[in-house]
């Protein structure tokens, strides 16, 4: 991962630092914490090549994407403990055992967006006056973060199996698992594949709609009545647990295999009247 430019100041964070994965910042809320990783601006190949096993037509055409702004990405999906600390609510189906550390689920896209706004409202203005906002990542931001510089079907290293990095149908035993238990990717992000599908900011025309194609800069799907999901889940077949895999649901749907991951970056720029709405203002 590139090391320049350095991350901006993070007045919203309780602690900051750096380790072999790169810069990090941790937000604490009366017990629950969430660590974020700084991801630099960059260019990558988005989507799956034609020959990738398990490829869906909606994952193509593979195309070059440039992200012109760096952003913070949460190193795990939002946990039930963090969600409850912000909202006071317990929506999840899998709420027994080590539930506090399991990803929150049964959230609609609208619920996920509302969570980002409620989190921001808990912090004093001086703590968030950095020009950035908590929001859902775009599909492009999500895939850049998931791939962490890799180009294959998953971010696993040579010889590493899906079960080492992701909870999916073959190893989940029918439910979510506490976050951060398996191997992270090269940028220190856990559960990017499996455990729960993660809402992204983008609107989509249909589940089967392919990418527009051609090089793109800071892409954001802004038309359509459904919202993007990435990463696969505890109930997913192996071919869905890939860096390029995409899905989508209506923004009001709640399922036990759908959660969210926070990002913090420049507010998404929605055209006036865009279907996607705003997930960060």
Q: Where are the domains of the chain?
A: 15-265
Let me know if 174 is exposed, middle or buried by CB neighbors in 10 A (0-12, 13-18, 19+): exposed
For residue 128, is pLDDT > 60?
yes
Q: What is the per-residue pLDDT for 97?
A: 79
Q: Is 159 exposed, middle or buried (0-12, 13-18, 19+ CB in 10 A)?
A: exposed
pLDDT value at residue 96:
83
pLDDT at 233 over 60: yes
Sign of CA dihedral 91, 93, 96, 98: negative
Note the CATH number of domain 15-265: 3.90.1580.10
What torsion do the CA atoms of 220, 185, 244, 83 make, to the nearest 10 degrees? -60
Is residue 142 within 8 A of residue 262, CB to CB? The reply is: no
**The predicted structure's pLDDT at residue 159:** 54
For residue 217, what are the β-bridge partners? 66
pLDDT at residue 158, rounded to an integer: 56
Global confidence as pTM = 0.95
Rg (CA), the chain: 17
Whether 2 has a pLDDT exceeding 50, the answer reads no
Residue 109 is inside which H or E element, if any?
helix 109-122
Cβ atoms of 12 and 133 within 8 Å: the answer is no
Structure tokens at 230: 């990435």
């Amino acid at each position: 991962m590139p090391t320049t430019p350095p991350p901006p100041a993070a007045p919203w964070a309780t602690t900051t630092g750096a380790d072999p994965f790169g810069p990090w910042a941790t937000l604490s809320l009366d017990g629950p914490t969430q660590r974020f990783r700084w991801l630099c601006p960059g260019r990558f190949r988005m989507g799956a090549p034609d020959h990738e096993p398990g490829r869906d037509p909606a994952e193509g055409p593979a195309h070059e994407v440039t992200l012109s702004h760096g952003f913070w990405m949460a190193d795990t999906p939002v946990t039930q403990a963090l969600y409850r600390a912000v909202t006071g609510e317990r929506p999840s189906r899998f709420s027994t055992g080590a539930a506090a550390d399991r990803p929150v689920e049964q959230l609609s896209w609208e619920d996920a967006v509302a969570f980002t706004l409620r989190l921001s409202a808990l912090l004093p203005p001086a703590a968030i006056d950095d020009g950035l906002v908590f929001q859902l990542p775009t599909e492009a931001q999500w895939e850049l973060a998931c791939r962490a510089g890799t180009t294959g079907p998953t971010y696993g290293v040579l010889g590493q199996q899906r079960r080492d990095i992701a909870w999916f149908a073959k190893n989940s035993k029918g439910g979510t698992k506490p976050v951060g238990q398996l191997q992270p990717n090269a940028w220190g992000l856990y559960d990017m594949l499996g455990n729960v599908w993660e809402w992204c900011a983008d609107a989509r025309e249909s589940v089967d709609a392919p990418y527009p194609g051609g090089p793109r800069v800071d892409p954001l799907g802004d038309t359509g009545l459904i919202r993007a999901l990435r990463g696969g889940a505890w109930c997913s077949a192996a071919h869905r647990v890939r860096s390029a895999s995409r899905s989508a649901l209506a923004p009001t749907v709640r399922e036990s295999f759908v959660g969210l991951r926070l990002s913090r970056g420049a507010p998404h720029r929605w055209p006036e009247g865009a279907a996607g709405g705003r997930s960060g203002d």
